[in-house]
């Protein structure tokens, strides 16, 4: 109990993040992106299609409301998720579908696929696709007859499957949507614009739709079919941008998303070319939905201490031999450092001539936060959330202390959301570098004159909007340095420590103080101009921002000082 109290653990039920964008905000963006598609279909097929669309949406909302009232659950129809399900379901149906069919499809989508599994975020399959596939399988003759009655001829995709390319419209007509088909699958242009809008708003990841469409195109060409017709006809674009990108039923990690999209593309092509179904998008996405847990398991993040190469499919752990040798070599070096440290417990400072340094100063009062995180308090757990950062800056320190936890010498502390290395305790083992998922910790020589406090390659106004101390990439430090020890590379200053004299001009001219000076006692006394008295203490390192207002001169004088941030020194404040 005392251990739990000391660690200040906080238990929370998933999801563990609280973002500014709610489920309702995301769903409303989806509805907004689907409106142009619906308007075009109304103009092309006739305004009568709005009736089955409205019945589908109303049925989904009503079924969700009835279920939640019956179960005594909190009503969530205001989050618009049921509206999105109804819209997507209706877009997969023929334009002349009878009104009772969307009602049945809505029941399957909301009750059987969504609510029975626990509601939004817990369903295994995409609800809209499940409802559409149920209608296709159970009422296959009726659905085929409806499609033929609607367009009087075979759909373009059916003509492509039969090899009758002379019956297929031109590429431009297929892309613009002047072709027969389901309500929402005709205009590829509007679907593409809607998908790009969602990507621009940060709602979807383009890895899945791009990989999906390219896979269908390339595999169709390899198997002797017309790749352009395969991607411009049918529901591929609608499924790729609006179905396969569903948060709940698709893998979390980028590699998993690509594997998911590849599987969808392969299955879609095989179903189209070698089965009696002219369309395979719905079935392929649902099949890959079932494999999503396995894909997530195969592509899970590597826990600290295990090899980079790991698979769980046939064995519990299969480790790459080269990686094992590299890991063993690193551990041997680390063990030697530990033995040296244990042999002389009074010794301070690095044992390798280098120390770790955290290239970030974006504390909570300086860097904009995206959301509040609750749950597993490790950086490697937090980095897998959408966007990969708790702060608006994607390269900012997460501040959850994985580097602090792995350090055996108490050489790292976390203050106000930023990790800081204590040079007098750091032994240069490099464990903190290995565990940092943001890769903002590096080994720097103890003789280095200046250090960069930012690793973000972003520049200009974007940096100003997310962090008050982020490097702007303005190049002022390059122009200021008379020794030509600094040059710009990928938007960041690159420091040549061999040329740097430690004059501090770059630190003073930097408009955001993104460069810090590393000097000894002489520079400290010169900067303080007599206002700081440390007696006869051996001054090697001091981080003035770690000194609280209550600290006395006696307590400060006992600190071993090696690193000093001159911009934090204000005359008379101490």
Q: Which residue has the higher pLDDT, 172 or 346?
A: 172
Q: What is the pLDDT of residues 529-559, one digit of tens each?
A: 333 333 333 333 333 333 333 333 333 333 3
Q: Give the closest residue to 560 by CA, choosing from 411, 451, 441.
A: 411
Q: H/E element holding 190?
A: helix 188-200
**Is residue 305 scored above 50 in pLDDT?**
no
Mean pLDDT of 175-201: 87
Instruction: Return the closest-CA partner of residue 356 out of 303, 409, 301, 417.
Output: 409
**d(Cα 268, Cα 533) in Å, to the nearest integer?**
75
CB-CB contact of 120 with 114 (8 Å): yes
pLDDT band at 264, cuts 50/70/90?
A: very high
Q: What is the pLDDT of residue 199?
A: 92
pLDDT at 565: 36
- Residue 488: pLDDT over 80: yes
Whole-number pLDDT of residue 178: 79
Given this model, what pLDDT does residue 375 score? 60
What is the predicted pLDDT for the residue at 184?
84
CA separation for the pair 126, 201 (Å, rounded): 22
- Rounded to whole angstroms, the Cα distance separating 470 from 493 reads 12
Residue found by looking up tokens 């809505």 in the block: 106
Distance between CA atoms of residues 91 and 177, nearest Å: 14
In angstroms, the CA 188 to CA 179 distance is 11
Collapsed DSSP state (helix, strand, coil) of residue 252? coil
Model confidence pLDDT, tens digit, residues 144-159: 766 544 443 445 555 5
Q: What are the tens digits of pLDDT across the range 427-465?
A: 777 788 888 888 888 888 877 888 888 888 887 877 888
Beta-bridged to residue 442, according to DSSP, are 357
Strands 441-445 and 418-421: unpaired
pLDDT at 417: 84
| Full-model pTM | 0.53
Instruction: Convert the pLDDT of each residue in 365-414 to its tens digit.
Output: 888 877 666 665 677 777 766 555 678 887 888 888 888 888 878 888 88
Q: What DSSP assignment string belongs to 360-424?
A: ----TTTB-B-EEE-S--SHHHHTTSTTS-SBSSTTS---S-HHHHH-TT--EEEETTEEEE-TT
Helix (H) or strand (E) holding 291: helix 281-298
Q: Print burial letters for 388-399: b (CB count within 10 Å at least 16), e (below 16).
A: ebbbbbebbbbb
Q: Strand pairing of 486-489 and 441-445? A: unpaired
- Cα(411)–Cα(563) distance, rounded to whole angstroms? 14
pLDDT in tens, 331-344: 555 555 555 555 55
pLDDT of 507: 82
């Amino acid at each position: 109990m005392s251990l739990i109290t000391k660690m200040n653990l906080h238990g929370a039920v998933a999801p563990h993040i609280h973002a500014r964008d709610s489920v309702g905000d995301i769903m409303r963006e989806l509805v907004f992106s689907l409106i142009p598609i619906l308007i075009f279909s109304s103009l092309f097929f006739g305004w009568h299609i709005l009736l089955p669309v409205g019945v589908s949406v109303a049925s989904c909302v009503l079924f969700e409301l009835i279920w939640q009232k019956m179960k005594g659950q909190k009503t969530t129809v205001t989050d618009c998720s049921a509206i999105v399900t109804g819209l997507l379901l209706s877009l997969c149906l023929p334009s002349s579908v009878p009104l009772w069919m969307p009602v049945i499809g809505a029941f399957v989508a909301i009750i059987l696929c969504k609510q029975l599994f626990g509601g939004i975020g817990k369903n295994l399959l995409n609800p809209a696709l499940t409802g559409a596939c149920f209608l296709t399988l159970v009422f296959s003759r009726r659905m085929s007859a409806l499609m033929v009655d609607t367009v009087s001829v075979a759909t373009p995709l059916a003509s492509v499957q039969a090899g009758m390319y002379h019956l297929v419209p031109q590429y431009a007509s297929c892309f613009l949507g002047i072709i027969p088909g389901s309500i929402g699958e005709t205009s590829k242009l509007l679907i593409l614009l809607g998908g790009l809008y969602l990507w621009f708003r940060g709602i979807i990841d383009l890895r899945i739709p791009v990989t999906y469409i390219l896979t269908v195109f390339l595999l169709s060409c390899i198997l002797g079919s017309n790749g352009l017709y395969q991607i411009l006809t049918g529901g591929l674009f609608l499924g790729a941008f609006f179905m396969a990108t569903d948060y709940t039923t698709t893998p979390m990690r980028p590699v998993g998303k690509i594997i998911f999209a590849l599987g969808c593309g392969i299955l879609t092509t095989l179903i189209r070319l070698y089965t009696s179904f002219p369309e395979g998008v719905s079935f392929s996405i649902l099949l890959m939905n079932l494999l999503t847990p396995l894909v997530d398991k195969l592509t899970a993040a590597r826990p600290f201490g295990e090899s980079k190469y790991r698979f769980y499919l046939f064995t519990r752990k299969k480790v790459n031999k080269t990686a094992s040798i590299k890991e063993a070599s690193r551990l041997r070096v680390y063990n030697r450092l530990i033995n040296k440290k244990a042999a002389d417990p009074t010794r301070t400072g690095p044992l390798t001539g280098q120390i770790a340094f955290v290239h970030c100063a974006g504390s909570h009062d300086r860097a904009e936060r995206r959301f509040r995180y609750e749950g597993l308090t490790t950086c490697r757990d937090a980095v897998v959330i959408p966007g990969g950062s708790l702060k608006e800056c994607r390269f900012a320190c997460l501040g959850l202390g994985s580097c602090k936890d792995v350090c055996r010498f108490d050489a790292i502390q976390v203050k106000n959301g930023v990790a800081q290395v204590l040079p007098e305790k750091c032994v240069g083992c490099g464990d903190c570098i290995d565990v940092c998922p943001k890769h903002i910790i590096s080994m720097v020589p103890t003789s280095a004159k200046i250090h960069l406090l930012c690793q973000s390659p972003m520049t200009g106004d974007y940096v100003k909007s997310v962090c008050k101390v982020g490097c702007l990439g303005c190049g002022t430090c390059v122009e200021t340095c008379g020794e030509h020890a600094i040059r710009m590379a990928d938007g960041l200053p690159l420091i040549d420590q061999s040329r740097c004299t430690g004059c501090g001009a770059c630190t003073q001219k930097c408009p955001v103080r993104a460069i810090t000076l590393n000097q000894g006692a002489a520079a400290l006394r010169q900067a303080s101009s007599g206002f700081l008295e440390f007696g006869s203490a051996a001054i090697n390192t001091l981080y003035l921002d770690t000194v609280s207002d209550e600290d006395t001169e006696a307590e400060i004088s006992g600190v071993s000082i090696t690193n000093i941030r001159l911009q934090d020194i204000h005359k008379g404040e101490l």
